[in-house]
Amino acid sequence: MQLDDLYRQVIMDHYTRPRNQGQLDEADLTIDLKNPTCGDEITLQVLVRDGLVDDVRFHGSGCSISMASASMMTEAIKGQLVERAMELSREFRNMMKGAEADYDCLGELEALSGVAKFPARIKCATLAWNALERVQADRGGKVDESSS
């Protein structure tokens, strides 16, 4: 199997069977974001405990790239330190720019590397990541908040 076919399969698997899709009963932050180029929207909810992404969910509508990226992102950051989630976000952006990226850190997200060749689709792939960065910004950059 060609690498491109494998990547396509990973993307379609996340698109058709999205992980962590839905809503949290309890969330520290909820971010709604729209892709300005197509109007598609995503809502990301995050629950942070002891500096960890304790739980995360997303819902919304969008193309296969945007939904697969959101699904893969939630899978990659769940249970991770918020700092680590932000590191992943930086690496994902590097990959989208076609710059050097840490593929060990990105893992399955590498399946979206081909998007870098299609500037119009980069906004699709980064929609969920923009929401994640807004979550962090809205938390005031805090990474070590404990449960109360």
For residue 34, is it left (φ>0), alpha (ψ between -120 and 50) or beta?
Answer: beta
Quote the least distance from Cβ 137 to ligand FES, whole Å: 21
Strand boundaries in 29-80, DSSP class E: 29-34, 41-49, 52-60
Is position 62 an interface residue for ligand FES (rule: CB under 6 A)? yes
Number of residues that bind ligand FES (CB under 6 A): 9
The residues pairing with 30 across neighbouring beta strands, listed in sequence order, are 45
Restricted to residues 100-129, the positions that interact with ligand FES (CB under 6 A) are: 124, 127
d(C-alpha 118, C-alpha 127), whole Å: 15
- CB-CB contact of 47 with 54 (8 Å): yes
Is position 63 an interface residue for ligand FES (rule: CB under 6 A)? yes
User: Which range of residues in 33-41, 44-52, 73-81, 108-116 is near ligand FES by CB under 6 A?
Assistant: 33-41
Restricted to residues 34-53, the positions that interact with ligand FES (CB under 6 A) are: 35, 38, 40
d(C-alpha 41, C-alpha 147), whole Å: 30
Is position 74 an interface residue for ligand FES (rule: CB under 6 A)? no
Q: Point out which residues bind ligand FES (CB under 6 A).
A: 35, 38, 40, 62-63, 65-66, 124, 127
